[in-house]
Structure 1
Amino acid sequence: MSDSTVHAIAGAGGGIISMALTYPLITVSNRLQVQKDKSSNDAYKGGLDAVKKILAKEGISGLYSGLDSALFGISLTNYCYYYFYEFTKGIINKDTMTTLESMSAGAVAGAATVMITNPIWVINTRINTRNASAPNARPMGTLETAAQMIKESGFQSFWQGVMPALVLVANPIIQYTVFEKIKARIAKSRALTSFDFFLLGAISKLAATSITYPYIVVKSRMQLKQSDDAKMRYSSIMDGFRKIIKYEGIAGLYKGISSKIVQSILTASFLFMAQASLVEYVSRLLIILGVRAQKRI
């Protein structure tokens, strides 16, 4: 079994751990991103207000709405990303890649991952924000939500928001490029520790999320069922930008950014730390199972 598969399995495991630890922050960030009207009494005024209102109306389970699809989604997303990233690195066949080579590997991995996993994140976004858009609606699971989407809009609804998601391939490109460059610099002087990977994950994700956040907002809104109201319906990325700025101002592009940055930094930190640790254990397990030849990674 190839090194790409080992890194992919470790990435999937790290993603599950990081997602489970930070999911309430994802819920809060998603709800704030898709909220278009802040004037109603039910509107969230900020991150803490969102937590209070979710707990009051939905209980603790409201903060974990859609967790099952998210765990499946993050495991598949990370598996695909790490697999294609390491596979592309293997083709480039260099111990230390240039910035352009690192970005190219990230672009290939990111585009492949988006096309494979976009349906999962569309379903998750709808489950995660359902109670906010329809407070009295009956909770729906992953399969029921998928069936409703097919019934209402057909299979093409699973790829809503795919264009901004492809643009957001820039996010992991920035993240992994920053990560690889700083890691290589530190590795020249000493061995990296788990805490180093935690900090590298935080720094690289902060850079990536801060730059790409407006696209994240547009993507989240395009993944929802499109409104009949023309001003709330986005036909393209640029249409989304124009309407958000027109009706909500520039601030509309940064709704939920504080909770998103905290969530993204913690998720990336836990992910890189867990993935780096899991690579060795996954390799050993596969050797024990007899599906991988014994060699140093």
Structure 2
Amino acid sequence: MSSAKPPQQLTPLGYALAGALGGCFSNAVVYPLDVAKTRIQAATADASSRGGKDAGMLRVILRILKKEGIAGLYRGFTATMLNTFSMQYAYFFFYSFVRTSYIRRLKSRLPPGTKAPPLSTAAELILGAVAGALAQIFTIPVAVIATRQQIGRSPDRPRNGNGSCTPASPPPEKGTDGDIEKAALPKEKEYDDSFLGVAREIVDEEGVTGLWLGLKPGLVLTVNPAITYGVYERVKSAFIVAQETATGGGGSENAKLSPWVSFVVGALSKTLATVVTYPYIMAKVRIQARSADAEEAVEEHAPAPKPHAYHHAHTRHVGALTILARVWRKKGFVGWYQGMSAQITKAVLSQALLFMSKDQFEHWALAIMVLLYKLRGASA
């Protein structure tokens, strides 16, 4: 039997597991909001103009309920949870690993027993961005599939069974959200919207690299969690110092905020990060949903554009800056923030729930590690 002591604190893998479980829990609670905000963001400038006031989150949710029922609000749930778990696990793992390594390196330069100084905001942002970039590279294929599933098959992209374009036919009367319409072409196979079916469709259309659509804006958006966690850690440190000063306590490196304080601080942190990065968030969704490609195809076939004019051979994808420039021309600065209220509502609630539950999940993860240690010791 091993003489090593049971784990007293979480390893980077333990922190990653706790963060991933917390992320899945928080996203599952607000999932219908996630579907609605994705459809609002993926709508092209023309579609959102036609939708007018119907582009609000509540109206989109009601429209989905009317057309698709409860199941429509949970479209792509499995893929999104897989994406959330993998993204959160990867992010928390890399963030914890990079941050712990950086702090250990700082301590090695100080006299023994000296407490490392709090990290600067710049250091927190850089460490968070590095962790986010590494997580994005490994997890973005699942995010692309989840986005396509949430939106459903766009009626302006009719295809037959082998993925090629079918002859033109009149578009459905309704369905500006990109919902799957019943009025499909007679010779068309039933659309497979399962995880593997969507993945197969993406690979057939664009090759394996299609699974990494939106990677460039995704890397830019690594500043979002970096801002979120950077601000959170700074405010958390300020709260703990204030508590220590008020109580006259000596303090602890493992001091925790109360769940409700964590909720408020997490909500404020995520709101700030969302406002700063939202235009790129919207552009990334349009790239992954390929609504921007469809819009460009329509514009290229003026003066008589047709909603179903989509080219299977279209391999050059519209970039984030091109999307933002087009939105600016059509709708101005306001267009860059189309659907931001939906994004903030979903993101803030999800992130705040994550911060509230993360400490509890960390306790559970540590308990699991201790249990595994005992089981391994008993079998040795």
Q: Same fold (TM over 0.5)?
A: yes
* 8 Å CA contact 2:26, 2:351 repeated in 1: yes
Q: Secondary structure at the match of 2:152?
A: helix
Are the equivalent residues in 2 in contact too, given 1:283–1:292 (CA < 8 A)? no
Query: Superposition pairs for residues 187-198 of structure 1, below 5 Å?
Result: 187-190=240-243, 191-198=256-263
The equivalent of 2:178 in structure 1 is 133
- Once the two structures are superposed, residues 4-63 of structure 1 have per-residue CA deviations (whole angstroms, 9 ceiling, x without a partner) of 111100001001100100111111111111111135579943212111111100111111
1:107 is displaced (CA, Å) by 1.2
| Number of the residue aligned with 1:114 | 136
Classify 1:244/1:69 alpha carbon distance in 2 versus 1 (closer, same or farther; 3 Å): same
Residue 175 (structure 1) aligned with residue 240 (structure 2): no
The answer (yes or no) to whether the contact 1:201–1:269 under 8 Å persists in 2 is: yes
Partner of 1:59: 69
Q: Which residue identity lines up with residue 180 of structure 1 in the other structure?
A: E
Alpha-carbon deviations, 1:73-100, whole Å to 9, x = none? 1011111111111111111124621112
Q: In 2, are the aligned partners of 1:77 and 1:117 still within 8 Å (CA)?
A: yes
Is 2:23 aligned against 1:11? no
Q: 1:213 maps to which residue?
A: 278
Say whether 1:80 aligns with 2:90. Answer: yes
Contact 1:202 1:269 in 2 (8 A): yes
Cα 1:23/1:235, change in 2 over 3 Å: same
CA distance in 2, matches of 1:234, 1:114: 19
With structure 1 as the length reference, what TM-score do the two structures score?
Answer: 0.92
Q: Percent identity?
A: 30
Which shows bigger deviation, 232-241 or 25-34?
232-241
CA deviation digits over 1:145-173, x for unaligned, max 9? 00111111111111111111111111111
CA contact (8 A) 1:198 1:270 kept: yes
Aligned to 2:246: none
Which structure has the larger Rg?
2
**Would you identify which runs of 4 or more consecutive aligned residues in structure 1 move more than 4 Å?**
39-43, 230-234
Name the CA distance, whole Å, in 1 between partners of 2:280 and 2:348. Answer: 18
Q: Whose helix proportion is higher, 1 or 2?
A: 1
Distance 2:270 2:236 in 1: 14
Paired letter, 2:59: D
Of 205, 212, 222, which residue of structure 2 is paired with 1:152?
Answer: 205
CA distance in 2, matches of 1:150, 1:17: 30
The separation in 1 between residues aligned to 2:299 and 2:375, in whole angstroms, is 55
- Please state how far the C-alpha of 1:101 moved relative to its aligned partner: 1.6
Name the CA shift for 1:204/1:229 in 2 (closer, same or farther; >3 Å): same
Classify the secondary structure of the residue corresponding to 2:55: coil
Per-residue CA distance 1:261-281 (angstroms, 9 max, x = gap): 111110001111111211122
Q: Distance in 2 between matches of 1:259 and 1:41?
A: 15
The CA distance in 2 between the partners of 1:51 and 1:169, in whole Å, is 29
Query: Any idea what SS the aligned residue of 1:189 has?
Result: helix
Unaligned runs of 5+ in 2: 1-6, 104-115, 154-176, 183-190, 244-255, 301-315
For the residue of structure 2 that corresponds to 1:30, the secondary structure is helix
Q: Does 1:250 align with 2:333?
A: yes
CA RMSD of aligned residues (A): 2.3
Query: Match of 1:135, as an amino acid?
Result: I
Q: Report if the CA contact (8 A) 1:28-1:256 is conserved.
A: no
- The one-letter code sitting in structure 2 at the alignment partner of 1:244 is V
Cα-to-partner distance string for 1:204-233 (whole Å, 9 max, x where unaligned) = 101100111111000000112332616498
Specify the alignment match of 2:101 in structure 1: 91
Give yes or no for contact 1:32–1:44 (8 Å, CA) kept in 2: no
- Relative to the length of structure 2, the TM-score reads 0.73
The reply on whether 1:123 has 2:145 as its aligned counterpart is yes
Paired residue for 2:347?
264
Q: Secondary structure at the match of 2:193?
A: coil
